[in-house]
Structure 1
Amino acid sequence: MTDQPGRARLFCDVALARRIEHAEARFIGACNDAALRRHRQAGFAVAIAGGIASFAEPDSPLNKVAGLGFAGRPDPAELDAVERAFAAHGAPVQAEVAGLAEPALLELLAGRGYRLVSFENVLGRALGQAAETVAPPGVDVRPSGDEELETWLDVVVEASLHPDAEGVPWYEDFSREILENAERDAAGLVQRYLARLNGVPGGGASMHIADGIAQLTGAATAPAFRRRGIQNALLAARLADAATAGCDIAVITVQPGSKSQQNAQRRGFDLLYTRAVLALERSGPIR
């Protein structure tokens, strides 16, 4: 699929941002449920102000507050309870706030001691008719079934441990064990794709479909296989399947200035909005 010169760019208003953030919160909640079923330890996932506060296990990428600010401002008592819940697990609070959320939310969080630590960009592309796939020389992308889950996990986790150095780096680093746990927990909720270069697994990706939104929930290429067209092939395969499934929009979250953002924009994605990543780390008592 190639970008059309006359294609109308996708504009994101508050209603579209709300739809995307609600889908993100629901996906985090489903992944949290899977994590708690796996390790059978105490965690939590609670709704707050249209979003979710999630703690799955120590150091998990699912430990965050997301989707806030599209159903009014959170009540201070709700925030108190969420902060106490994270503190009970010895974890800081990380809140991801979309730039189109309730304007007073950032001021509210700053007043409670949250500080800005990073940004991430949400990109989107409108989907219509079935999209063409991309097939660079020697690259083969196919849906990945349960029979090769371990192969898919090994490729994706290994590649994620060696991120591309372009752009703003991710705020957090995760261990192999934690990354594998998170990918395994999400595996039953997403469509998985494995890319091979000349028959050798070199990259993997996933996609979650809900309410007409195709969430491109991750893609990674092993360092030795980069700059060979695998990322573009994985992206094109998911877009084609999302269009066939009747989705009207595909979204992807990337680090500002990253190779992933460049690849997505080359495939017709537009910058919809930026999320501010805020962190609260307390050394004193939680009220």
Structure 2
Amino acid sequence: MASFAETGSPCNKVAGLGFGGVPTESELGEIEQAFAAFDAPTQIELAHVADPAIGTLLTGRGYRLESFENVLGLALDDRHQRVAPPGIEIRPSGDDEFETWLEIMADAVARPDTQGVPWHEEFPREVYLNAERDFATAGVTRYAALRNGVLAGGAGLRVADGIAQFAGAATTPAHRRQGIQSALLSARLADAAATGCDVAVITTQPGSKSQQNAQRRGFDLLYARAILVKQP
């Protein structure tokens, strides 16, 4: 699947390449031309389980490796319960606080946690806000994390076909290392299990705090993917 939202958007990418066989040169060319029409690079997420011939094909067309991501999964059952440290509250975030939630999330993302491999992308604040507004119309449930009554971060959850997709979680710098990320994971796992989901998936940077938190909750690596980019 190839998508383009706006210049610099995190939604500008080709996802799932390799799960349906090796693409042809003409198919890749058509995709590259579509991105080039917007003067945008073609960014491909290539899973390590894909046919190695795809990697050869892409490097031959001028793609360069920019980063790696890990996709982790966890089989869900009724044992998942909400757990949060004292002073931490995780609750749904309604439309009445959407703009406040957005600003907190944007502040947190603008100053990322530096543990592990850093994200290979940085987005202008307005582009990030636009992407989050788009996600809000795509069935993503928002969560607010409060520490001692103060909004300190948040996360998202999208459920489809028995799969719970954990969307970007973030905590503002002043409230990090207080158990908020683990509490957000716990709440979403419990809610996903309660809705009847079979599996939860989350994407992290290799060796990041997010990956460590997920693995402590029982997530295992499903596959790694390379981020390959070709400039227009």
TM-score, shorter chain, exceeding 0.5: yes
Match of 2:180 in 1: 230
Q: 1:207 aligns with which of 157, 160, 165?
A: 157
Q: Deviations over 1:217-266 (max 9, x none)?
A: 11000000001111111110000000001111101000011000011111
What secondary structure does 2:17 align onto? Answer: coil
In structure 2, distance between residues paired with 1:200 and 1:213: 31
In structure 1, distance between residues paired with 2:79 and 2:140: 20
Match of 1:194 in 2: 144
Partner AA of 1:103 in structure 2: P
In structure 2, distance between residues paired with 1:132 and 1:151: 28
What secondary structure does 1:67 align onto? Answer: strand
Match of 1:119 in 2: 68
In structure 1, distance between residues paired with 2:163 and 2:95: 24
Farther-moved stretch of structure 1 (188-197 vs 127-136): 127-136
Match of 1:239 in 2: 189
In structure 1, distance between residues paired with 2:203 and 2:131: 17
In structure 2, distance between residues paired with 1:198 and 1:267: 24
Partner AA of 2:143 in structure 1: Y
Match of 2:113 in 1: 164
In structure 1, distance between residues paired with 2:195 and 2:57: 40
Match of 2:53 in 1: 104
Q: Quick check: which one's strand share is greater?
A: 2
Q: Are 2:204 and 1:249 equivalent residues in the alignment?
A: no
Post-superposition offset of 1:156 = 1.1
TM-score, with structure 1 as normaliser: 0.79
In structure 1, distance between residues paired with 2:220 and 2:153: 24
Post-superposition offset of 1:130 = 4.6
Identity %: 64
Partner AA of 2:162 in structure 1: G
Match of 1:7 in 2: none
In structure 2, distance between residues paired with 1:249 and 1:106: 29
Q: 1:139 aligns with which of 83, 88, 99?
A: 88
Q: Deviations over 1:34-75 (max 9, x none)?
A: xxxxxxxxxxxxxxxxxx111110000001111011112112
In structure 1, distance between residues paired with 2:57 and 2:13: 17
Tell whether the 8 Å contact from 1:97 to 1:276 is kept in structure 2 after alignment. yes
Q: 1:92 aligns with which of 21, 36, 41?
A: 41
Tell whether the 8 Å contact from 1:130 to 1:244 is kept in structure 2 after alignment. no
Which 5+ residue runs of structure 1 have no aligned equivalent?
1-51, 283-287
In structure 2, distance between residues paired with 1:210 and 1:104: 31
Match of 2:224 in 1: 274
What secondary structure does 1:107 align onto? Answer: helix
Q: Are 2:17 and 1:72 equivalent residues in the alignment?
A: no
Q: Are 2:97 and 1:148 equivalent residues in the alignment?
A: yes
Tell whether the 8 Å contact from 1:214 to 1:242 is kept in structure 2 after alignment. yes
Match of 1:183 in 2: 132
In structure 2, distance between residues paired with 1:112 and 1:167: 30
What secondary structure does 1:157 align onto? Answer: helix
In structure 2, distance between residues paired with 1:102 and 1:203: 39
Structure 1 outlier segments of 4+, above 2 Å: none
Post-superposition offset of 1:103 = 2.9
Which 5+ residue runs of structure 2 have no aligned equivalent?
none
What secondary structure does 2:169 align onto? Answer: strand
Match of 1:82 in 2: 31
Partner AA of 2:225 in structure 1: R
- 1:256-271 matches, within 5 Å, as 256-271=206-221
Aligned residues: 231
Post-superposition offset of 1:190 = 0.3
User: What is the CA RMSD across the aligned residues, in angstroms?
Assistant: 0.9
Post-superposition offset of 1:199 = 0.8
Post-superposition offset of 1:122 = 0.5
Post-superposition offset of 1:271 = 1.2
Q: Greater relative contact order (Cα 8 A, min sep 6): structure 1 or 2?
A: 2
TM-score, with structure 2 as normaliser: 0.97
